[in-house]
Amino acid sequence: MIDRERTRSALASPAISALAAAVLFRLATSSFVTPPMVQDALAYTRSAQRLVARHLFAYSTAWPTAAHVAPNAIVTPGYLVFLAPFYALFGSAQSDATIRLVQPFVIGAQSLLAIATVFLVSLIGHRLGGRPSALLTGLLAAAYLPFGWAASVSLSESLGAFLVALDLLLALRFVEADVTRRTWRDAAVFGIASAALVMVRPVFALWPAAPFVYLVLRRLEPPRRLAVLAASALLGMALLIAPWTARNALVLHRLVPLRTSASAPLLDSLGGSRLAPDERSLWDRAMREQKDPAAAVAASRIRARLRSDASGFVLERVEWTLRAFSTPWIAVYDVFWEERFQRQTDRVDLSPDFSGAPTLALASLAGVSKYYHLGLSAMAAFGLLFVRRRPSVAVVASLPVYVLASMFTVLPQTRYAFPAAPALIVMASVGAAGVIPRVRVAVRARRVPVSSASEHGGSERTV
């Protein structure tokens, strides 16, 4: 009976937060009509149709029945596996009408993922500070409107943010467990969840090491037992990743652990894919040697920049990274950019009322969200000052730091920072929980009683 009451108490604040998120996200998405499907969203969708119709995994915007599309590993399979059941249920026919039929269900599922992300973030808050922290963290997440906006497009970021929140919750549960209760099963479950995240957002491939680094630095496990736990986590990850890697080896006839285009974003951040004559020779040589051509050209450009102005290059990357991380990703704005600068002929229009420009309501909410995100970033930085109170918070803090490092290395872009939002919000709540009591103490200290002379009939007042 006591355990049931504790469970109800633990779930109350997350439930309230999820309800608030449902209302606020609906308000956020009502500020515009459904945008058209272009570029990556269209490629994901038609690739999911192809997977259902032809049992062929090939990422491309080509029609599902196009015979010229060969198997590839341009993206990891996680998000296509998420989309495929919708087309298995409602049809994978070569028709824009099919996409228009299915897309409302996909958006609905993405919206539920956004609400579930808030629920998980609130659960993390409860784990770190009980019911008050759960409510604070959950409401901070519910007010983060980009979660709702991300659900309006068929991209993997909503699923990625949900899996980040789940992975963080499992990581905290794992590292905070008593030594006798931290089992290899817990490590394996964390490994499986981490692999699911990697299959959706491969950039997180190295982050699952963070909880184990924490255990090492805190000396919470003897070396032999720690090795068993780490092996269990790796085995859990291998259960999902190894079949994909084996498929790539059989189909592509080379070792591709995750994806073939891993260096494409890096090349984009170094001037784009347009090649100079000497770079073309590098590209062709890498292709002949079955190496990543984008990585070869990117490495050449980095060496040239470091030789010419190393400090300027590093400072430029730092500036771009901080600017991108401190700006929220508003999914529909990417579509507006495409409409203005690169209007696609290959597209699926989902609403005849889409104007191609932000409405006044959306622009106003987006402006508020930018300042809100900046405030969360500042408060999250304050949160780092209170890690000593609850050392396990360092595991949460490691994720935004990891994302910053990966953005600096690969591509400083707001979309790449979006999946780190759950960790950013948790750290902001840690900062707020640490700062608010100090502000109260400071305010009370300033209210020094000053007594007026009793003979003048004065009363006590404060300044």
Q: What is the rounded CA–CA span in Å between residue 50 and residue 61?
A: 10
* Confidence (pLDDT) at 447: 67
* Confidence (pLDDT) at 354: 85
Q: Is-contact 410 416, C-beta < 8 A?
A: yes
Burial class (CB in 10 A: 0-12, 13-18, 19+), 174: buried
How confident is the chain (463 residues) per 10-residue block, as mean pLDDT?
Answer: 65 92 95 91 93 92 86 94 92 77 94 97 93 93 96 93 97 85 92 97 95 93 93 96 96 90 82 83 82 85 90 92 93 89 84 86 94 95 88 94 93 91 96 75 65 46 36
**What pairs with residue 449 in β-bridges?**
462
Q: The tokens of 376 are what?
A: 């969360």
Q: What is the rounded CA–CA span in Å between residue 301 and residue 346?
A: 32
Q: The tokens of 121 are what?
A: 């973030």
Q: The tokens of 251 are what?
A: 């189909």
Q: Which residues of 262-276 are buried (b: 16+ CB within 10 A; e: fewer)?
A: bbbbbbebbeeeebe
Cα 197–chain centre separation: 9
Q: Report the candidate in 427, 351, 419, 448 with the shortest Cα–Cα distance to residue 146.
A: 419
Sequence-separated (6 or more) residues with CB below 8 Å from residue 77 = 57, 199, 244
